[in-house]
């Protein structure tokens, strides 16, 4: 088994175990994503502030080319949208060496009907 195959199997296991199903703008099938909160320290003059942020990770094999503005809706076990779990990509996604896109996202508030 090659290194690439081993890495792909490892990523598959991680996303199977820790991931969540989601819909993704422009992708027909349900994809598997991982959500994280990502704090960022902003420094200015002599001060600093910590801003909370959100990050969604998805494998390149499932989403070939994520772009700013794509929407991601997290789904529950029955395939229904999870309330309060709709996000929009904010910024340029970054591809890591393992073939996983790291996408900064912002929550989208959905008005109740």
Query: What pLDDT sits at residue 113?
Result: 45
pLDDT per position as a tens digit, 17-42? 889 999 999 999 999 999 988 666 66
Could you give the CA distance from residue 87 to residue 69 in angstroms, rounded to a whole number? Answer: 9
> Domain 3-107 belongs to what architecture?
Beta Barrel (2.40)
Query: What pLDDT sits at residue 42?
Result: 64
Query: What pLDDT sits at residue 22?
Result: 97
- The answer to whether the predicted template modeling score (pTM) of the entire model surpasses 0.85 is no
100 beta partners: 59
Instruction: Give the helix/strand (H/E) hosting 36.
Output: strand 27-37
Q: Is the pLDDT of residue 81 over 70?
A: yes
Could you give the CA distance from residue 19 to residue 79 in angstroms, rounded to a whole number? Answer: 14
- Give percent of the chain above pLDDT 90: 58
Average per-residue pLDDT for the chain: 87
Q: Are 85 and 73 in contact (CB under 8 A)?
A: yes
Could you give the CA distance from residue 86 to residue 23 in angstroms, rounded to a whole number? Answer: 10
């Amino acid at each position: 088994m090659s290194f690439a195959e081993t890495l792909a199997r490892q990523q598959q296991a991680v996303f199977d175990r820790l991931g969540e199903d989601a819909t993704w703008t422009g992708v027909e099938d349900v994809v598997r994503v991982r959500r994280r909160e990502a704090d960022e320290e902003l420094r200015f003059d002599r001060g600093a502030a910590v801003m909370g942020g959100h990050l969604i990770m998805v494998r390149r094999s499932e989403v070939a080319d994520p772009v700013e503005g794509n929407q991601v809706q997290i789904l529950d076990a029955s395939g229904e949208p999870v309330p309060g779990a709709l996000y929009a990509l904010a910024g340029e996604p970054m591809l890591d060496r393992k073939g996983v896109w790291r996408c900064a996202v912002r929550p989208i508030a959905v008005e109740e009907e």
